Amino acid sequence: MNDSTAAKNRRRFLTGGVAAGLASGTIVSLAGQTAGAAGATPNSLSLMGLQPDGAPADDSGYTPGILAEGVQRVVFVSGQGPEDYDADMETQIRQTFTRIGKVLDAAGATFENIVILRSFFVHLARDLPAYRKVRKEFLKQPYPASTAVGTTELAIPGLMIEIEAVAVL
């Protein structure tokens, strides 16, 4: 995809989001102010796990899809990593989730508000089992949708795991 096509796709996405917000009576502005429809209840969020036939089961700490209704606000958590790059991987993953929790808290959200996680690993095969174990300490059903990606390196030298999240309130 060239830069021009990517820019058009971003504009189309943003225009569609604004149109959907207008249609639902809720608009989230770039300044962080939320304008809700008359009678809308803040934080009235319903999450439902989607488990269609043929989709993987959620016993691994994720759900194939999440339907979020009544969304008032969306929190995008940039990729977070651990404090101690020399710690064992389980500790690094816990530290990373703790940092995500701090960002969520600043927005008035909790781990229960997360609808998707994207995790990036330098050693995917080695570290994925530890990740699957630790994320269940922070998340509960319906688990958020989740993607795990193996990569050769991350933006910060020495970083072996990075996790980003999207939460809705």
Angle of the 124-138 helix axis to the 89-106 helix axis, nearest 10: 50
Q: Tell me: the pLDDT tens digits for 59-114?
A: 667 777 777 777 578 899 999 999 999 999 999 999 999 999 999 999 999 999 99
- DSSP symbols for 70-130: S---EEEEEEE--S-TTS-HHHHHHHHHHHHHHHHHHTT--GGGEEEEEEEESSHHHHHHH
Q: Is the pLDDT of residue 138 over 60?
A: yes
What is residue 58's predicted lDDT score, i.e. its pLDDT? 55
Task: Tell me the percentage of the chain whose pLDDT exceeds 90.
Answer: 54
Instruction: Report which of residues 51 and 153 the model is more confident about.
Output: 153
Could you tell me the residue ranges of all domains in the chain? 1-40, 41-168
Task: Tell me the percentage of the chain whose pLDDT exceeds 70.
Answer: 71
Distances (CA, A) of 32 to 35, 91, 147, 158: 10, 33, 27, 34
Could you tell me the CATH superfamily of domain 41-168? Answer: RutC-like (3.30.1330.40)
The DSSP letter of residue 6 is H
Q: Tell me the residue type at 122.
A: V
Distance CA 148, CA 98 (A): 18
Instruction: Report which of residues 29 and 124 the model is more confident about.
Output: 124
Tokens coding 121: 């690993």
Q: Tell me: the pLDDT tens digits for 4-28?
A: 554 454 444 444 444 444 344 433 3
CB 60 within 8 A of CB 129: no
What is residue 66's predicted lDDT score, i.e. its pLDDT? 75
